Structure formats: structure tokens, C-alpha cells
Amino acid sequence: MTDQHTVRRALLMSGIGAVAAAGLIGPGAASADAADACPDVQVVFARGTAEPTGLGRVGEAFVDDLRDQLGGRTVTASAVNYSASYDFLQSAPAGADDASAQIQATAARCPDTRIVVGGYSQGAAVVDLITGDPAATFGFGRPMPAPVADHVAAVAVFGNPAGRIGRILTTSSPLYGAKTIDLCNGADPVCSDGDDRPAHSHYVESGMVTQAADFVASRLAGSVPAGVLVNASGTAG
């Protein structure tokens, strides 16, 4: 099976938890473009497959936890504007283009703002395409310009389908790997060879969202030197 087929299968499976969680998901945070002043921290987050428009359940929880961690700093968040549909070959690249445009616009308009990039499930694949896609998965091949990396303080992805082919951001992205946390919940089949399908819906309950917020807060404080992969067995590396 080719890498693209493996990733596509993982993306198909990523819809499992999104539909089940649909009734629990609130509206997305306001876009940074609506803010008059530049925030201290801007989060750009891509939701998972079939989740309603906005940050998604994982994204909302991640932003809430990060705000709690950062205390008095101003933290704004914007959702990647894409369909998050089951037509992954169209949906994920479209999300990648929107995420890239948002991040580059923030870097240009607010050069002192620290940018945090995140994604869950298909949203993690969106992040892969713009930060760590040397093989041009799905024919995308449009990573963000290298200077943008200086504005991105941290990357957090959950249930990343690239894990199915061993292409983890912590090791595959020269510019972003050291500032990335890539989390796979137990035997989540979207990001591992496991078969625990409910695990894909439980990133908030597992504590991994809080773990990611801790990592990002440490990156923003300048105290974490290297990226973190938490694999299917739950060990850090």
C-alpha cells in the first residue's frame, strides 16, 4: 500500500470521533483579523473531519488550556476555514492554503506576535502539508516560506494521520520539528497501527490536550529545547 493510500485510509477513519462529538462542539474563536491590536499569542487551529465550522472540540479545549497557562498574556485564536469533508484530496490542501495564508498574514501584520499552529485529525494533516511535507503528499508541495518559521513558536497536532506512515512532524520537519508536539492517543488507528477506534475521540479526556498546552506554554517561555512525540504506547521520545 502506498503512503498516500495509507494516509487516505487514516483520514477516512478520522471521521469516527468527529461525528460522535458534533453535539459537544462550540463555535470557533474570533479571527485575529477582527482584533484592533496585535495579540501576544495567536493560535491557528484546524478542526477534524466532519466537525462543525470553528476550532472543533479539541481546538477549543486546547485554546482554553493555553489561556489558563499563559495568565495575563493576550491569546486570540482563529479557525482554519476549510470544509473538513471526506473529500480529503480537495479538503486538506484547501485547508493548508487557508492556514498558510492566515499564518503569513499574522506574521506580516504582527511581527512580534508568537504564533501557535495546531490541528486535530484531518486538521493535523493540514498542518503537515505546510510545515513538514518534503514528499509533497497529495501533490500539495506548498510549504510556508522558511522565514515564517521564525514567527511560529510552537506546533501541536493530535491524531496525526501521518503517523501511520512514520512521517511524524517532530522528525520530518527541519524548520518546525524541534518546536512540535505530535500526540497519538494509545492505539488510535488514525495515527498508529492500533485498533482502538474510540481513542480517536478522547484527546480531551486523555489529558493530551492539557499536555500539549503545557508544552506550548513552555515553548513560549523559551524553556523547551526539542519537539515531543508521544507514540501509541504513550511514551515520549
Catalytic status, residue 36: no
Rounded-to-integer distance, Cα 3 and Cα 22, Å: 29
Rounded-to-integer distance, Cα 22 and Cα 24, Å: 5
Q: Determine how many CB atoms are found less than 10 A away from the CB of residue 138.
A: 20
In degrees, to the nearest 5, what angle opens at C-alpha 61 toward C-alphas 43 and 167? 65
Q: What are the cell numbers at 174?
A: 527541519
Catalytic residue among 98, 188, 192, 206: 188
Catalytic residue among 78, 100, 128, 200: 200
Catalytic status, residue 188: yes
Listed in sequence order, the residues at least 6 apart from 97 whose beta carbon sits closer than 8 Å to its beta carbon are 142
- Beta-strand ranges (E) seen in 103-214 are 114-120, 152-158, 180-183
Catalytic status, residue 83: no
Rounded-to-integer distance, Cα 222 and Cα 29, Å: 26
Rounded-to-integer distance, Cα 112 and Cα 128, Å: 24
The answer to whether the beta carbons of residues 160 and 129 sit under 8 Å apart is: no
Catalytic site residues? 121, 188, 200
